[in-house]
Copies of this chain bind each other. A is one copy, B any other.
């Protein structure tokens, strides 16, 4: 017997039939002798409707009231799932954030969990089987409902798994695991049976939207083993603890026996490129450019500087979030007197492609291979950044699919 946390996302509980299907996954675990804490999202579409009402009520709705409204979606799902489980003769009840309580700070709309009180759950598990907990919510110091921000139910599940010291936290969603890259781009993309927290964090932050980044961080800190799997699987399917379990296990790298050098290729279309040409190259010029952008709360990522032939000018290229491109150009134009440049250009027609793998720590040559295979395909690299387990490049958007497919093959990911 073990204690498991199961989390079902919005598409997995979108209607009563899907809730009933989710209940069969829970039933399987209960019948295997486990106690389960289940964390649920709102039925797909519900949160959008609730958010829509708050926006119709006010362009900038009071955040505490926003939280009181938007948290009802999870409340409804939790009750419905408990009803269905009790009808299946599985001893079950629902809990809202304030009932456990799940305590949060007071950042309404994007609150952080500060404590999960487990006394009521532990008492329940003495006789009960399935505790259903409304995700995405807690109660702040002032006794008001607080929500964790979009996708926060993943974080709820991990926090509860950590507090209960659960054996595993299973994230049931509408995909059947984490892939080596986006299967819509590379047909040969392979499902990973295991991936380390660090790699998953890079994947998540680069647009592989399987798990909320914060939930992965929290899982890493508390050592919560996360299993991503499809809720639409046959609930009767084998659920062993070996390597052949369904879905993808996100875990400590020590649990991963056969570590690949590169685990996956991620990409992001949320970047825009800004180029300033023939900037006067003098001390303090970087501060003159990037200071005003920082003040405008615009996040600069990749930066490239090329000094010109005369040695007194430079071309400077950098990336900003695509939504901030217009603001970035406005800020820089307003500083033209201080910066003195010949031209300024902005484009959103770029893509950031990243090669991710914890094996890079011990294997050299990953970046070199990347540059080589892309050069062979005639793909021009506009900017580069690296971290310990990641190499990212910026390229023209037109070459994105070609680059991803080329890298996927080059690092041996077509067959894992």
Which residues of A pack against B, CB within 8 Å? 16, 19-20, 50, 53-54, 56-58, 61-62, 64-66, 68-69, 72, 75-76, 78-80, 82-84, 86-87, 93-94, 96, 98-99, 143-145
Contacts and interface: CB of A to CB of B under 8 A. Distances in A.
Contacts of A75: 68-69, 72, 75
The 5 closest A-B pairs by CB, nearest first: A72-B72, A69-B79, A65-B79, A68-B79, A16-B56
**How many chain copies does the complex carry?**
2
B62 A82 contact: yes
Nearest to A87: B58
A152 B307 CA distance: 75
Contact of A143 (B54, B69, B99): B99
Contact of A57 (B16, B56, B144, B145): B16
18 contacts: A16-B53, A16-B57, A20-B57, A53-B76, A54-B79, A54-B80, A54-B83, A57-B83, A58-B84, A62-B82, A62-B93, A65-B80, A65-B83, A66-B83, A68-B78, A72-B75, A75-B75, A99-B144
A82 B54 CA distance: 10
Contacts of A87: 57-58
A86 B66 CA distance: 12
A76 B61 CA distance: 13
Contact of A58 (B57, B68, B83): B83
A38 to B, nearest CB: 13
A350 B91 CA distance: 48
A406 to B, nearest CB: 49
- Name, among A68, A82, A93, A144, the residue most crowded by chain B CB atoms within 10 Å (CB to CB): A68
Given A56-B16, A65-B93, A93-B64, A76 B82 contact: no
B76 A94 contact: no
Contacts of A86: 58, 62, 65
Nearest to A144: B99
A173 B265 CA distance: 60
Contacts of A65: 79-80, 82-83, 86, 93-94
Contacts of A76: 50, 53, 69, 72
Residue among A76, A84, A94 with the highest chain B CB neighbour number at 10 A: A76
Nearest to A68: B79
Contacts of A98: 98
Most buried by B among A72, A84, A93: A72
A221 to B, nearest CB: 31
A106 to B, nearest CB: 14
A301 to B, nearest CB: 36
A127 to B, nearest CB: 15
Contacts of A94: 65, 68
Nearest to A72: B72
Nearest to A19: B57
A76 B145 CA distance: 12
Which of A57, A58, A62, A76 has most B Cβ within 10 Å?
A57
B96 A68 contact: yes
A230 B30 CA distance: 53
